[in-house]
Structure 1
Amino acid sequence: MLRAALVSATVALTPLSAVAQDTVADDLGPLMDAMGLPEVLEIMRAEGLSYGEELAADLFGGTGPGSVPRSWSATVDEIYSIPRLEETVRASLADDLEGHDTGAMLAFFESDLGQRIIGLEVSARRAMMDEGVEDDSRDLVLEMIETEDPRLALLESFTEVNDLIENNVVGALNANFAFYTGLANGGAFEDGFTEDQMLSDVWSQEAAIRDDTVDWVFAYLALAYRPLSDADMQAYIDFSETQPGAVLNQALFTAFDDMFATVSMALGHAAAGYMAGEDL
């Protein structure tokens, strides 16, 4: 249902201190800025508002003028408000990065290479909102496979090191389950819909979600990192293999999983309310 967040995590080449400096409170804001998270959240908000329109078509049977209650649009707008999204992400990152060397993370993301990478990632994420761009990027991956482009091996390595496929699949499944939970809590299922039934239905989507995730992730990576040299790409992989890189990578996925679960449950609960008031 919702695209899980794909945000990279890398760390500086500088050696870690023997005892990690507990500076997360001071570093978190600058770290989030250096990683481009404000821009990423804006993009996710736009994606969420678009999904809200798709959901409205299912709920209200059309997308023309007057077919969607203004109150629904206002509800979706509030669910995807930037302060709300940022609060969830910030709280989760603060918990998971406590006691870790956020100073080293910040040093990399503020470096020239780090900022170039973040710029490429954000631009690609924004561009992929256009279906034509996404289709072209998927075609690019197919071409890379056919021509045995060496860059493909680097993309595969980066994907494996950061466990991008599994993390995105799990995030999507969790978001779908949260949406069902919101529907159930809002009384959408008159005959009842048990948690086991919800889990069964969500898991039945796993294969399709995984296939789409593989295609989307590689299309995104091929687009985002195309301007990088192989040396820069390998350096990025090396950064991701360090302990702080792994910590930050997982912290980011956890934070965005929390965010997507929160908004998905809220969407489900809101949808249930409108379903109860509509002759559907």
Structure 2
Amino acid sequence: MPAALRLPLIALTTTFALVLAAIAAPAQAADQAKLREYLEITGFDVALESIRLSADNAPAMLGIEADAFGSEWSRLVNEVFATDTMQLMAMDILGETLSDDLLTHAADFYASDLGQRLVAVENDSHMEEEDGLKTESGAAIMEGLRQIDSPRIALLERLTQATDADGASLRAIQEVQVRFLMAAAGAGVIELRMDEADLREAMRSQEDEMRQSIAANALTNAAYTYQAFSDGEVEAYAEALEDARMQKVYALMNAVQYEIMANRFEAVAARLPDMQPSTDL
């Protein structure tokens, strides 16, 4: 196996390592039963499951058509992005990093009536296939809000900023892409015309455009997902997310989600050389 693919179950990215450094080791880590319940109450279990949907973009990143593999591609995705595998990975990390106090704080909010209604729509949004309808609907909602200069826009902005207060999403997305491309190159699937340092520099040159795109997409998604909630409820959610304890929880959960995504994309790259184009009959 190429050296680029000899990775432990969790190979810490720079972003992930920084998050761990910023959050002190918990005095009392949460046990497995609490963690599994936490994943369900907060909807993080569904957020992890939705990572599988991102695999649709994997072949395009390598210049490969997923349809060329027929049912083999679906089988690969279902195996590599198995829900149980990703949840166990998440619990392994959270069990070492998420204190019982932070877990309880987040779980208490999401267990409330408002919290459970939020989780329900977030779960639906996570698992909704991106066929353009959600994006178009969200964009239409935002356009309508702008036309009347609605104060809801500011509330949605607070909401999206609170879930990514340190702007880690951009760095994490770049890390996922770099690790996937380097793993694919190491497996002989593609031949890169630049080394890792040049690849990272090329991505940095596009950061402003990517940052704007991420922010716009986050607003559009929030407008669509929370359209049935009142301004007061959206504001209450924003306030809950802005709490210092919830900020620590979200920084960790975001890091865990992106780390698992990168790890699973690397696993896909490792198995691509063994796949053959097929025709479904």
TM range (shorter): 0.7 to 0.9
Which residue is 2:56 aligned to? 50
Distance change in 2, residues 1:255/1:209 (3 Å): same
Corresponding residue SS for 1:22? coil
Q: CA separation in 1, counterparts of 2:177 and 2:56?
A: 17
Shift of 1:76: 2.7
For residues 61-94 of structure 1, the C-alpha deviation after alignment (integer angstroms, 9 at most, x for no partner) is x73xxx3265444333322111222222222222
Distance change in 2, residues 1:132/1:191 (3 Å): closer
| Residue 41 in structure 1 maps to residue 48 in structure 2 | yes
Which residue is 1:7 aligned to? none
Which residue is 2:38 aligned to? 31
Distance change in 2, residues 1:92/1:23 (3 Å): closer
Shift of 1:159: 2.3
Which residue is 2:64 aligned to? 59
Which residue is 2:210 aligned to? 209
- The answer to whether the 8 Å contact 2:241/2:247 transfers is yes
- The answer to whether the 8 Å contact 1:169/1:210 transfers is yes
Q: Which 5+ residue runs of structure 1 have no aligned equivalent?
A: 1-19
Q: Could you say what the CA RMSD is over the residues aligned between the two structures, in angstroms? A: 2.9
For residue 113 of structure 1, what is the amino acid of its counterpart?
L
For residue 153 of structure 1, what is the amino acid of its counterpart?
A
Distance change in 2, residues 1:191/1:249 (3 Å): closer
| Residue 266 in structure 1 maps to residue 267 in structure 2 | yes
Distance change in 2, residues 1:189/1:52 (3 Å): closer
Q: CA separation in 1, counterparts of 2:154 and 2:191?
A: 51
Q: What pairs up with 1:85-124 in 2 under 5 angstroms?
A: 85-98=86-99, 100-124=101-125
Which residue is 2:3 aligned to? none
For residues 41-61 of structure 1, the C-alpha deviation after alignment (integer angstroms, 9 at most, x for no partner) is 33332x1353356568x325x
For residue 43 of structure 2, what is the amino acid of its counterpart?
G
For residue 269 of structure 1, what is the amino acid of its counterpart?
A
Residues paired across the two proteins, number = 251
Q: CA separation in 2, counterparts of 1:113 and 1:36?
A: 13
| Residue 143 in structure 1 maps to residue 150 in structure 2 | no
For residue 179 of structure 1, what is the amino acid of its counterpart?
F
For residue 59 of structure 1, what is the amino acid of its counterpart?
I
Distance change in 2, residues 1:258/1:159 (3 Å): same
- The answer to whether the 8 Å contact 1:79/1:267 transfers is yes
Shift of 1:125: 2.8
For residue 29 of structure 1, what is the amino acid of its counterpart?
R
Q: CA separation in 2, counterparts of 1:100 and 1:179?
A: 35
Corresponding residue SS for 1:24? coil
Q: CA separation in 2, counterparts of 1:185 and 1:69?
A: 24
Distance change in 2, residues 1:195/1:144 (3 Å): same
Distance change in 2, residues 1:52/1:191 (3 Å): closer
Distance change in 2, residues 1:27/1:143 (3 Å): same
Which residue is 1:218 aligned to? 219
For residues 95-134 of structure 1, the C-alpha deviation after alignment (integer angstroms, 9 at most, x for no partner) is 2213533222222211111101111212233346231221
Q: What pairs up with 1:94-243 in 2 under 5 angstroms?
A: 94-98=95-99, 100-127=101-128, 129-163=130-164, 166-188=167-189, 193-243=194-244
For residue 219 of structure 1, what is the amino acid of its counterpart?
T
With normalisation by structure 2, the TM-score equals 0.77
For residues 222-253 of structure 1, the C-alpha deviation after alignment (integer angstroms, 9 at most, x for no partner) is 11222222222222122122222111111111
